[in-house]
Structures are given as structure tokens and as C-alpha cells.
Amino acid sequence: MLAALVAVAALVASVSAVAHATAGAPVAGELLPDLDQETPNQLLIAHAEHHWLLGFQSAVRNVGAGPLLINGHRSSRATPFMEADQQVMNQDGSSFVDRGAGRLRYVRSPDHQHWHLLRFERYELRLAGSRKVLVRDRKTGFCLGDRYRVINGQPAAAVVNPLHTGRCALRQPGRLQVSEGISVGWGDNYVAYLEGQSLPIDHLASGRYVLVHRVNTDHRLRELSYTNDAASVLLDLRWRHGKPHLTQLASCPNSARCDSPAVPTAARHVPRGQVSANWRRFGLVAANATLCSLAHAYSPGP
């Protein structure tokens, strides 16, 4: 009996693993997106409210065969969340809905007020050579849109003009439905120190760390590939007279392991600034000018 139970358990685990590995695989005729996590960039250090913060720009681009389309809905305003479905396009122009893509929540913060897709992208800092995460983000989600055009590696199915240019029902907390997305050949970016675009480093000792950005971490969104859903940078942190000095040693697209011995390093100083203070003072104006702008908002940095 025990041997039979073990065999059944192994079979169930095997089937589950195969289903998980092929969950995003396209069926004939489907036009799936491919979310490509850009490498963390535009790094800055700032002191705000008695904390040292590492700020960064994050960006995700769609290099797939079809758009990422998210439709949120709820039956009543008494429900704080919207359920998110993914609309998948077919080659013949038809589409179908893949339910259970996540949740949306209306977020009120000094720099923006609209509906966010939760857990779309996550950030973490871990000690180099270790898988233990020391600092995680507290990001409240993302308002998805066509914020910048893909220049390098533009996919064949890229559209010429941005299609998702809305503001995710800006200042409309009573909405029952909302749609967001990223067209093929376009990307969505959030600049440093915009709400959630930083991690505290006060309690980190001097040493080497890996900053990792990941998109679609739970694979609830169907894609052509999950292999490009993470990117990272290797950092060297040194404390001198109570102030952090940070150097970027390596940049690793399509990899969360920028601390691999095989990765070549080239030191680049991370500057200090007052970006966080600027966001607190001019947050809403700056957010409207940058987050919702389509005029070449994204710059990967040097």
C-alpha cells in the first residue's frame, strides 16, 4: 500500500511539474506576449526620513507575438479589489479570456492615484553568493501602458503607434471595470523613487549584493517564454562615516544571478542625490509628467 501511495504521489508531482512548465506555451493560432524584464538602471542613493534608500528605474517590455491585455472587473464598489483576466488574441482576429491573471487595486499615494495590477513586478536585494533575500519591495502594483518604444531587438509584430495610453482610471476609484496593457514593441517603466521604486539599505553591512528585478513571478500571466523574466545588477556597498558608497560592478540581463563567478565586472560609481525629496515635494506633478508621458520616457542609462 505504501509503495502504491508513493507511486501515485510521484505521478501527481510529475504531471503538476509538466503542467507548470508548459502553462505559458502557446496553442496553435495564439498570439502571446513575451515580457522581457529590463536590467535595473538609473541607480541613485538618497537620504529620506532618516533612511538611506537605493532608488532605481524598472522597466518591462513586450517582445512577443501579441499584446498583453488585462481586463479588471468587480461586481460592486463594496469590493476593494478587481479580479484581473488576461485577454489573449488569436491569429484570426478573435480572442479568448484566460481568467485568474491576478488582482487590481485602487492606490492612493502622493505621486499617483489609479488602478494597479498587483505583483506584476517585484524587487529584491540579496547577499552575493547566497539565495537569502535581505530586502524586498513593498510595491503596490503597476499601471500598465505603452510608455516607451522598444529600440533594440524590436519584435516583428511591433506596432508603430502606442495603443495603451490611458492612465488606468486616474482619480476614478468607483470604476467597476478597467483595462490596461502593453502592446508588442512597447514597454512600461517606473522611474527611481516613484512610489515603491526604492529599497532601504540602512541595515545592510558592507559587502557585495545583487539587486534583482522580476516580472510575472507567479507565472499567472501567459507568455511565450519565462526565461527573460528576471534581470539583475551586482553592487558593492561600503559604509564610510555613516554614509553609503555604492559601486555597480556588473549588469546582467535575463539573469537573476549577477553574482556568478563567470560574470565580468566593471566598476561604476552610483551617485547620491535628493530625488526622494523632490518626489515628496512635486510627486503628483512629476508623476503626471513622467509616468504618463509617451515622449521617450525610458532611458536605460549608460
| Closest among 254, 286, 236, 291 to 43, alpha carbons compared | 236
Whether residue 158 lies inside any domain: the answer is: yes
Whether residue 19 lies inside any domain: the answer is: no
The model carries a pTM of 0.84
The yes-or-no verdict on residue 225 having pLDDT over 70 is yes
The yes-or-no verdict on residue 142 having pLDDT over 80 is yes
How many domains does one find in the chain?
1
Whether residue 38 lies inside any domain: the answer is: yes
Whether residue 243 lies inside any domain: the answer is: yes
Q: Is 109 in a helix, a strand, or coil?
A: strand
The per-residue pLDDT of the chain, averaged, comes to: 85
Q: What confidence score (pLDDT) does residue 3 get?
A: 52
Higher pLDDT, 140 or 243: 243
Whether residue 165 lies inside any domain: the answer is: yes
Whether residue 181 lies inside any domain: the answer is: yes
Q: What confidence score (pLDDT) does residue 24 get?
A: 57
Note whether 36 and 60 are within 8 A (CB): yes
Q: What confidence score (pLDDT) does residue 237 get?
A: 97
Percent of the chain past pLDDT 70, that is, above it, reads 81
Q: What confidence score (pLDDT) does residue 267 get?
A: 82
Whether residue 301 lies inside any domain: the answer is: no
Q: What confidence score (pLDDT) does residue 49 get?
A: 82
28-79 confidence digits (pLDDT tens): 899 999 999 999 999 999 998 889 999 999 999 999 999 999 999 999 999 9
Higher pLDDT, 275 or 191: 191
| Alpha-carbon span 298 to 302, nearest angstrom | 13
The yes-or-no verdict on residue 302 having pLDDT over 90 is no
Which of 33-47, 142-156, 163-177, 264-278 shows the lowest per-residue confidence on average (mean pLDDT)?
A: 264-278
| Alpha-carbon span 47 to 24, nearest angstrom | 42
What average pLDDT does this structure show over 170-175? 95
| Alpha-carbon span 37 to 142, nearest angstrom | 14
Q: Is 106 in a helix, a strand, or coil?
A: strand
The yes-or-no verdict on residue 109 having pLDDT over 90 is no
Whether residue 13 lies inside any domain: the answer is: no
| Closest among 152, 197, 155, 239 to 57, alpha carbons compared | 197
Distances (CA, A) of 125 to 128, 132, 168, 172, 208: 9, 9, 29, 34, 10
What average pLDDT does this structure show over 201-205? 96
Residue with cell 476614478: 172
Distances (CA, A) of 230 to 5, 35, 214: 37, 10, 4
Domain that holds residue 181: 28-290
